[in-house]
Amino acid sequence: MTTRTDVTAIYGPVAGDLPRVDQMLTSLQHVEFPWLRSMLEATLTGGGKRLRPAIALLAGRLGDYDLDKLVPLAASVELLHTATLIHDDVIDAAQERRGKPTAAALFNNASSVMLGDYMFAHAAEFVARTGNIRVIRNFADTLRVMANGELTQDMSAYEYSADVQRYLDRIYGKTASLFATAAEGGAIVTGAPEEFVAPMRSFGEHLGMAFQIVDDILDFSATSEELGKPAGSDLLSGTLTLPTLLYMERYPDDNPVRRAFDGTRRRANLARAIDEIRDSDILEESMKTAERFALHARDALERIPSGDPRTTLDGLVDYVLSRRS
C-alpha cells in the first residue's frame, strides 16, 4: 500500500492536493440508500495509488492551476478507472483486488454491475463540471475506446492467437487511453499553451502502455501478497498478455498454452506455462518492451519546459518501471 510519505515523494507538488480528489470521490457515499452507501464505501475507501489523478494535476501545472476545474477532471478519471475494475471483477469472477474482497465477492454480480454503471454516470457528471467541451468530448471518446478494449479482451478469452500487435492495441484501449486523457485533459482544462497539449497526451499514452506491460509482467513475477490477487490470474482466466505471447512465439508448434486452450487439462497446462515463463528470460524480454514505451514517454517530456511538473512526471516513469504492485 502506498503511504503518505510515498505519495509526497512520488507526486511532488500535487501530493497535497490529491486529498481533494479523494473528498470528491467519497462525496458519492452521501446517498439515501444504506445498501448503495455500503457498496460505495467498500469500493471507494483507501484503495489505489491515484496515479491517473496525479498525472492530471501535474499536467495542470503547465497552465493556470485551477483546482476547481482540475479536481473534477481528476476525480472523473479515477472513478472511470474504478468502475471498469468493478466490471472486470464481475466478468473474471475475481474474489480479491488489492488484497481486499471485490464488490462481486462482497455483494452479487448484478449489484456490482449496477454499481459500476452508477460510477460511470457520476464520472461523466464530474467531468462536465469542468465546463470544457473539448475535455468532455475526450472523456466520451476515451470511454468508447476503453469499452472496446474490454470487449476485445473478454470476447477473446481462451482464443489462441500469437498476435503481439493485437495485444498492444488492446492495452491501449484498456489502460493507456485513460492515462492519455488524464495528461491531455489536465493541460487543456487549465489553458496550458497548445504546444504542450500533444506532448502531454503522448506522455500519458506511452506511460500507460509501460504501466500495463509492467502489470502483466508482475502477474507472473510478483507474489499474491504483493499483487493483492492470485498470481498468474490473467493466463488462468484465458487472457493472453505479452509474456505469454512471447512464450508462444518461442515455442510455436507445441506449448502448454495451445493445449490448454484446446481444452486439454486446462488448469494443469496453464500452471505449467506459468512456471516455464517464470523460469525463462521472457519476463526480462517483456520488460525491455515496457522500457521502450517508457523512453517514448520521456521523449515527450523533452517538449515540456523544465520545472517541478516535468521533473515529477519523469520520476513517475521510474516509479512505473520499478513498482512491485
pLDDT digits (tens, 9 = 90+) for 125-145: 999 999 999 999 999 999 999
pLDDT of residue 149: 86
pLDDT of residue 45: 79
C-alpha–C-alpha distance, residues 216 and 293, integer Å:
14
pLDDT of residue 226: 82
Query: What is 4-322's CATH number, 1.10.645.10, 1.10.357.10, 3.90.1300.10, 1.10.600.10?
Result: 1.10.600.10
C-alpha–C-alpha distance, residues 190 and 66, integer Å:
6
Prediction pTM value: 0.93
Phi, psi for residue 101 in degrees, rounded to 5: -60, 140
pLDDT of residue 102: 87
pLDDT in single tens digits along all 325 residues of the chain: 444 446 568 999 999 999 999 999 999 998 888 888 989 988 887 667 899 999 999 999 999 999 999 999 999 999 999 999 999 888 877 888 777 888 888 888 899 999 999 999 999 999 999 999 999 999 999 999 999 888 888 888 888 888 999 999 999 999 999 999 999 999 999 999 999 999 999 999 999 999 999 999 999 998 888 887 778 889 998 999 999 999 999 999 889 999 999 989 999 999 999 999 999 999 999 999 999 999 999 999 999 999 999 999 999 999 999 998 7
The residues spanned by each domain of the chain are 4-322
Which of helix, strand or coil describes residue 143? Answer: helix
Residues 314, 300, 305, 69, Cα dihedral to 10° = -80
In 3D space, the residue among 122, 43, 111 whose CA is nearest the CA of residue 75 turns out to be 122
User: Measuring CA to CA, how many Å separate 216 from each of 44, 63, 111?
Assistant: 24, 34, 28
C-alpha–C-alpha distance, residues 273 and 325, integer Å:
22
Burial of 248 (C-beta count, 10 Å sphere; 0-12/13-18/19+): buried
